[in-house]
Amino acid sequence: MLTQEEVVQLLNPVKDPFLHTTLENTGGITSVTIKEDKRHVSVKIAISKTNTAEQMELQQEIVGILKKNGANTVGLRFEQLPDEVIQKYQPAAEKAKAEALVSGNSDTKFIAVASGKGGVGKSTVTVNLALSLMRLGKKVGIIDADIYGFSVPDMMGVEKRPIVRGEKIIPVERFGVQVISMGFFVEDNSPIIWRGPMLGKMINSFFSEVEWGDLDYLLLDLPPGTGDIAMDVHELLPTCKEIIVTTPHPTAAFVAARAGQMALKTDHEILGVIENMAYFESKITGEKEYVFGEGGGQKLADVLKTKVLGQLPLQQPYEEEDVFAPSVYQEDHPNGKEFHKIAAKIIAKLEE
């Protein structure tokens, strides 16, 4: 029967499928247990990426090696290597590309769209601002970083899923905008119950493992409030600018100020405030009704020492029979025109 030492010797030459170096180098064999009476070998293996097709192939390879050398049954458990080990052995080209995107050496401009509370239209703003930037000739991507409330794919009518090419995830493209979202990796709209550190790794993966290409703008739809994800983004992207979304209601503006203050404390420039649901304009009389009050956007801008980039009325996109995108405003729609103006202001400010 195999001994623990023999199992380690047999598996040491096996390579991590993503780091392309041996388990001996990474310290990937973390536990070996032998049950001699049943000729059962249990092994715990640490690799750089778990729950992948490559892990399944590695599992078959390891089981084959151990059974060939005397094991009757094999039990395998996988866990993730520590970040410092992954960074040490990560292929140089992949590491350089990922680091370039977030290091400040990239030409990509990052804009985080934040709010103090949910339900104010932050994701709607992200989607339509991205489309307006694209319509102005920019190459644009969206990271739906609202891990618990991912909605960007549904808003844009995205029905496809990302594909994997080599070791990179290829984002889905819709209306000329590239999109990656936690929603692509969750089955049946299941709830997310991850803790903060795990979510932080997912955000890092959206940068390092996605093949974005040469983007002019990458927009991040942040979760509402000032939680772990927002803090991770502020730490990861020191050059990231921020847009704060609110409604005119005083409470929404008050809590939105917290998100803005966090951006200021971490030295992130606030591009401005967008006031969503600013009013309802009657098609019959043309009168404006301020359903959620007035002045919240301007008061928030004053507190944060910035400007109101735009005020968006309560309006639905036009219905189109052959296009399903329930939250996308057409270019000739009044709100589409307003988003166009906002996008033009942003380009003028960031590219002046």
CATH number of the domain residue 31 falls in = 3.30.300.130
- Is the domain of 69 the same as that of 119? no
Widest CA span of the chain, in angstroms? 88
Domains in the chain, number: 2
Tokens of 190: 């299941």
Give which of 130, 237, 236, 235 is closest to 179, Cα–Cα: 130
Give which of 7, 84, 9 is closest to 48, Cα–Cα: 84
Q: What was the pLDDT predicted at 304?
A: 87
CATH number of the domain residue 323 falls in = 3.40.50.300
Tokens of 315: 């309006």
Q: What was the pLDDT predicted at 211?
A: 86
Tokens of 17: 């499928």
- Is the domain of 240 the same as that of 326? yes
Phi/psi at 220 (5° precision): -115, 120
CA distance 16 to 231: 31
CA terminus-to-terminus distance, the chain: 72
Q: What was the pLDDT predicted at 94?
A: 55
- Is the domain of 85 the same as that of 103? no
Q: What was the pLDDT predicted at 187?
A: 61
Which are the contacts of 95, defined by CB distance < 8 A and separation ≥ 6?
87
- Is the domain of 144 the same as that of 205? yes
Pick out the chain residues at pLDDT < 50. 93, 193-194, 196
- Is the domain of 194 the same as that of 216? yes
Provide the 3-class DSSP secondary structure of residue 221. strand
DSSP labels for 187-237?
A: GGGPPP---HHHHHHHHHHHHHSB---S-SEEEEEPPSSSSHHHHHHHHH-
Beta bridge partners of 144: 181
CA distance 14 to 121: 50
pLDDT tens per residue across span 43-61: 999 998 887 778 888 999 9
- Is the domain of 44 the same as that of 70? yes
Which are the contacts of 11, defined by CB distance < 8 A and separation ≥ 6?
23, 29, 43, 45, 62, 65, 66
Last residue of a domain, one of 89, 116, 149: 89
* Residue 165, CA distances (Å) to 94, 162, 169, 170 in order: 13, 10, 6, 7
What per-residue string of b and e applies to 102-127 under the rule 16 or more CB within 10 Å gives b?
beeebebbbbbbbbbbeebbbbbbbb
Last residue of a domain, one of 89, 112, 137: 89
Residue 171's domain comprises 97-350
